[in-house]
């Protein structure tokens, strides 16, 4: 036993040293991998009208291209996090990248609607394995407080800006190549990610080999599936629709059952100790709120720029770049300088209030508003606020997590953001449609009034999004603890 120990220790030390030398290259690989997943949320949306025309499917079918991905991704994240802990994060990353790329190639080769929906579902499933592995690897590679701040600043900027970059890339590829290239581009990201993982990361045999909690898997996955489906169904029908209500009831029953199982089982899918920390709970709440509120920016401002101001898809993407710059600035500043000194409590609620103010500013838009005078400044300000939310939230949600819990903690962060996006999609679309209908009551359905109703629906969505962020500021202000996070002197955790 002692001989084995003396042999293994130098090997582990050498592996740790090698990984430590390569850690910034590993960060680049992880950022590229995460960017691929985030881009997919908006890049395909830009291509949907063109894909619909090419494959001849109806408007009612179109939503399933988005919903199929969301259902698979959102419902399988917790399981994906557990699998990455079991088989090893490097293995999960490579399998996730290869699977995501294969599904993207299948989608790009689609000859009909069914083939494209199947491809999007498989994409979501592999994305649910990939996303927790990326964040878990980041968490266990960077444990030095100063370096962790820099690493999570970069990761947070990628996460916050990925949606806007997806709009730009989607517009360019759809306009100058083909809608199929919005899927094929994932093969480039995946190839870089796989090459980097194979050449830079050490062998990883997994850190948690406990038996899989099958009752937890079935109730947790089923509950999340029903929840995401309920919001998706509400978006296309109504909140009072029998299937919408039924989905929410099923989700509530299954998720309550899931939590009961997690409290009693010996090897839970989601160890409740991961949820017990106040700061982690506040960070997860921040991701949920940001996921909901950000939808108002991307979707309805895209509508406004394209429908009202007549921007092309490419120019719409370019218009969002100042927000990306704002996110990058505060993501770096918050994680590298502010979070170590003040902790997350003053940062995240402040970011929420800045985002709320920016959205409230956008409620003043009219049919003759100008980008330079009416949109640019609130867009940059929005980016500054979002940078204060995402980067500290990712860092705080995974800070102090044991190595064997890193996968499930990372899955929780992604789940919060995904569920938030589903809520925002359904809620804001419904409220915007209601605002447009109300505006036209008592008015002639002329072309001008229809255009005014559309703008009114967008500004109403901005207003509701602003209130979502105000609520998030109050919630996170109550949940997060005051004071700087505890510093740790641990060495990077490396599995062998």
Can you state the angle between helices 406-440 and 59-87, rounded to 10 degrees? 160
The total of other beta-carbon atoms located within 10 Å of residue 382's CB is 28
Q: What would the two tokens of residue 80 be?
A: 């994906």
Name the pLDDT band for 493 (thresholds 50, 70, 90).
very low
Is the pLDDT at 492 greater than 70? The verdict is: no
Weakest-pLDDT range from 193-197, 292-296, 362-366: 292-296
In SS3 terms, 390-406 reads as HHHHHHHHHCCCCHHHH
d(CA 315, CA 305): 9
Of 73-87, 138-152, 244-258, highest mean pLDDT:
244-258
Q: DSSP labels for 438-451?
A: HHHTTS---HHHHH
CA distance 287 to 265: 28
Q: Dump pLDDT digits (tens) for 180-224.
A: 999 999 999 999 999 999 999 887 776 667 788 899 999 999 999
User: 89 near 493, Cβ under 8 Å?
Assistant: no
- Greater confidence (496 vs 219) lies with 219
pLDDT in tens, 478-487: 999 988 776 5
Q: Using CA atoms, how far apart are residues 425 and 237, in angstroms rounded to an integer?
A: 13
Rounded distance between C-alpha atoms, residue 94 and residue 448, angstroms: 53
Residues 6+ apart with CB under 8 A from 14: none
| 51 closest CA partner among 107, 105, 10, 91 | 107
pLDDT at 13: 54
Task: Please name which of 376, 334, 364, 374 lies closest in space to residue 351, comparing C-alpha atoms.
Answer: 334
CATH of domain 2-212+269-479: 1.20.1250.20
> What distance, in Å, lies between the first and last C-alpha atoms of the chain?
18
Q: What CA–CA distance (Å, rounded) separates 238 from 220?
A: 25
Work out the mean pLDDT of the chain and round it to a whole number.
88
Query: Tens of pLDDT along 396-437?
Result: 998 888 888 888 889 999 899 888 888 888 889 889 989 999
**SS3 of the chain: helix, strand, coil, percent, to 5:** 85, 0, 15
| 434-469 pLDDT, tens digit each | 999 999 998 988 889 999 999 999 999 999 999 999
**Cβ–Cβ contacts within 10 Å for residue 107, how many?**
26
> Contacts for 231-240 with beta carbons within 8 Å, 24 or more apart?
231/422, 231/423, 231/425, 231/426, 231/427, 232/63, 232/67, 232/70, 232/71, 232/422, 232/425, 232/426, 234/426, 234/430, 235/63, 235/425, 235/426, 235/429, 235/430, 236/60, 236/63, 238/430, 239/430
Tokens of 183: 């899927």
CA-only gyration radius of the chain, Å: 22
**What count of Cα atoms within 13 Å lies in the side-chain half-sphere of residue 284?**
20
Using an 8 Å Cβ cutoff, are 391 and 157 in contact? yes
User: Is 231 exposed, middle or buried, given 0-12, 13-18 or 19+ CB atoms closer than 10 A?
Assistant: buried
Asked if residue 116 lies in contact with residue 142, where contact means CB atoms within 8 angstroms, the answer is: no
What does each C-alpha distance from 435 to 35, 374, 430 come to in angstroms? 34, 22, 9
Average pLDDT value for residue range 145-155: 87
- Residue 359 CA, chain-centre distance (Å), reads 20
Distance (Å, whole) CA 357 – CA 359: 5
Q: Tell me the DSSP string of 89-142.
A: HHHHHHHHHHHHHHHHHHHHT--SHHHHHHHHHHHHHHHHHHHHHHHHHHHHH-
Contact between 26 and 141 (Cβ < 8 Å): yes
Query: How far apart are the C-alpha atoms of 416 and 288, rounded to whole Å?
Result: 5
Instruction: Name the helix (H) or strand (E) containing 22.
Output: none
Question: Between 351 and 153, whose confidence is greater?
Answer: 351
């Amino acid at each position: 036993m002692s001989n084995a120990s003396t042999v293994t220790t130098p090997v582990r030390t050498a592996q740790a040293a090698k990984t430590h030398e390569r850690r910034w290259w590993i960060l680049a690989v992880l950022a590229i991998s995460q960017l691929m997943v985030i881009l997919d949320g908006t890049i395909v949306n830009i291509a949907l009208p063109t894909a619909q025309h090419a494959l001849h499917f109806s408007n009612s079918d179109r939503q399933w291209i988005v919903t199929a991905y969301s259902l698979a991704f959102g419902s399988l994240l917790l399981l994906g996090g557990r699998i990455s802990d079991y088989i090893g994060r490097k293995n999960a990353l490579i399998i996730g990248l290869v699977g995501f790329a294969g599904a993207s190639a299948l989608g790009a080769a689609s000859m009909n609607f069914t083939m494209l929906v199947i491809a999007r579902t498989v994409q979501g499933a592999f994305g649910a394995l990939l996303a927790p592995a990326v964040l878990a690897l980041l968490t266990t590679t960077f444990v030095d407080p100063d370096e962790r701040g820099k690493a999570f600043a970069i990761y947070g900027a990628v996460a916050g800006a990925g949606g806007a970059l997806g709009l730009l890339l989607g517009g360019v590829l759809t306009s100058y190549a083909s809608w199929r290239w919005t899927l094929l581009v994932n093969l480039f990201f995946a190839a870089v990610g796989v090459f980097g993982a194979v050449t830079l990361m050490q062998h990883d045999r997994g850190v948690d080999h406990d038996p899989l909690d099958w009752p937890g898997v079935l109730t947790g996955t089923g509950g999340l599936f029903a929840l995401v489906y309920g919001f998706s169904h509400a978006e296309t029908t109504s909140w009072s629709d029998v299937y919408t209500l039924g989905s929410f009831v099923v989700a509530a029953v299954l998720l309550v059952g899931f939590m009961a199982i997690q409290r009693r089982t010996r090897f839970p899918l989601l160890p409740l100790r991961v949820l017990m920390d106040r700061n982690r709970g506040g960070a997860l709440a921040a991701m949920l709120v940001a996921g909901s509120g950000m939808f108002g920016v991307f979707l309805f401002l895209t509508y406004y720029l394209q429908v009202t101001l007549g921007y092309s898809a490419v120019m719409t993407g370019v218009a969002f770049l100042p927000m990306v710059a704002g996110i990058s600035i505060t993501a770096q500043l918050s994680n590298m300088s502010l979070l170590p000194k003040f902790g997350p409590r003053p940062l995240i609620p402040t970011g929420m209030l800045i985002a709320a103010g920016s959205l409230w500013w956008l409620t003043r838009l009219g049919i003759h508003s100008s980008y330079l005078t009416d949109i640019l400044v609130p867009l940059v300000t929005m980016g500054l606020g979002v940078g204060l939310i995402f980067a500290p939230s990712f860092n705080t949600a995974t800070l102090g997590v044991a190595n064997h819990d890193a996968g499930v903690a990372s899955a929780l962060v992604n789940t919060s953001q995904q569920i938030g996006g589903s809520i925002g999609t359904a809620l804001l679309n419904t409220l915007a449609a209601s605002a447009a209908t109300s505006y036209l009551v008592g008015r002639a359905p002329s072309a001008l009034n229809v255009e005014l109703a559309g703008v009114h629906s967008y500004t109403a969505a901005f207003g509701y999004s602003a209130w979502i962020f105000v609520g998030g500021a109050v919630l996170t202000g109550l949940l997060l603890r005051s004071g700087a996070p505890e510093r740790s002197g641990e060495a990077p955790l490396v599995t062998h």
